[in-house]
Amino acid sequence: MSSSNTINLANPHLSELKVDHLYHIGFNSAQPLEELFGDVQVVILGGANARMHDIARIIGSRLKNAPISTEDVKPIGETSRFHLFKVGPVMTASHQMGQPSFSILLHEITKLLSFAKAKNVVYIRLGTCGGIRVDPGTVVFTDRSYDGALNNYHTLINCGKTIHRESRFSEELNKELVECAEQINIPNTIGNTMCADDFYEGQSRLDGAICEISQQDKMDYLVQLNEKNIINIEMESLVFGAFTKYLNIKATTMCVTLIRRLDGDQVADGAHEFVQRPIDVLLQYLKKRDIVE
């Protein structure tokens, strides 16, 4: 963030573009972005289109100022890749699964909000994950994110060179959200997260179509994760923590555990009832910020 608390992009080449086309979300810098998005305060990111639509509907209907009826909440911009919603000062967007897709969305919404001069914007990713030792249904707030080799940085290749960016979320935002979770009695913890590029082999599961590890290899690895205070495993936090830290955007990841990986790898149908928990924490946070009733 810059001194005026708008998002300060870190790209000197952008000023050379006459119009910046935000290709995947279907907006461009020639549009009146300040009018459309200048009031955004909170950005909610999650994997699935339908879930982000539901969250936008709930927030829209509970807005303190000018509530929006649920049938009027519709995706905006280009919808073939991501679904983006704007309800009052809240933007919600689906990012699909994995870091490459999420990273594209992050670049484009961040340019959009910077061009719109939105101030003090907070980014929250909410979703699901696998827990290691904690009980299913625990909401985990990520402090640091690690890759599968237990590096606390996101690696990218730029012009053939390897770049590492530390991945860490806002301590302040995590504390605020923990307080919200406590107020509504949702089991929660702050800890570190392992971010994998795949659900099966990348998360040391034994139930993929290919598996080259033994049960003992998996257990030894889960113990190693535990030694780094890694509580959970998901697929987007590493790039998210690195990107937002680099641009000084207040952000975090809050994911509910669907399973306890020390007990197995399969996600049972019933686990999906837990998906509501991070949404309830979010609504409590928006209430505290006086955005929803």
Spatial separation of the C-alpha atoms in residues 238 and 173, rounded to whole Å: 17
Q: Considering only residues 151-180, where is the footprint of ligand URA by CB under 6 A?
A: none
240 near ligand R2B (CB under 6 A): no
Shortest CB 45 distance to ligand URA, Å: 15
58 near ligand R2B (CB under 6 A): no
115 near ligand R2B (CB under 6 A): no
Q: Considering only residues 3-62, where is the footprint of ligand URA by CB under 6 A?
A: none
194 near ligand URA (CB under 6 A): no
235 near ligand R2B (CB under 6 A): yes
233 touches, from ligand R2B, ligand URA, none (C-beta below 5 to 8 Å by class) = ligand URA
Q: How crowded is residue 12: how many other Cβ atoms within 10 Å of its Cβ?
A: 7
138 near ligand R2B (CB under 6 A): no
Sole binder of ligand R2B in the list 99, 101, 128, 192 (CB under 6 A): 128
Shortest CB 139 distance to ligand R2B, Å: 14
- 3-state secondary structure string, the chain? CCCCCECCCCCHHHHHCCCCEECCCCEECCCCHHHHHCCCCEEEEECCHHHHHHHHHHHHHHECCCCCCHHHCCCECCCCCCCEEEECCEEEEECCCCHHHHHHHHHHHHHHHHHCCCECCEEEEEEEEEECCCCCCCEEEEEEEECCCCCCEEEEEECCEEEEEECECCHHHHHHHHHHHHHCCCCEEEEEEEECCCCCHHHCCCCCCCCCCCHHHHHHHHHHHHHCCEEEEECCHHHHHHHHHHCCCEEEEEEEEEEECCCCCCCCHHHHHHHHHHHHHHHHHHHHCCCEC
203 touches, from ligand R2B, ligand URA, none (C-beta below 5 to 8 Å by class) = ligand URA
Q: Considering only residues 262-291, where is the footprint of ligand R2B by CB under 6 A?
A: none
Q: Considering only residues 225-264, where is the footprint of ligand URA by CB under 6 A?
A: 233-235, 258-259
267 near ligand URA (CB under 6 A): yes
Sole binder of ligand URA in the list 92, 110, 203, 204 (CB under 6 A): 203
- Give residues in contact with ligand URA (CB under 6 A): 128-130, 199, 203, 233-235, 258-259, 267
Where does this chain bind ligand R2B (CB under 6 A)?
Answer: 47, 97, 127-129, 199, 234-236
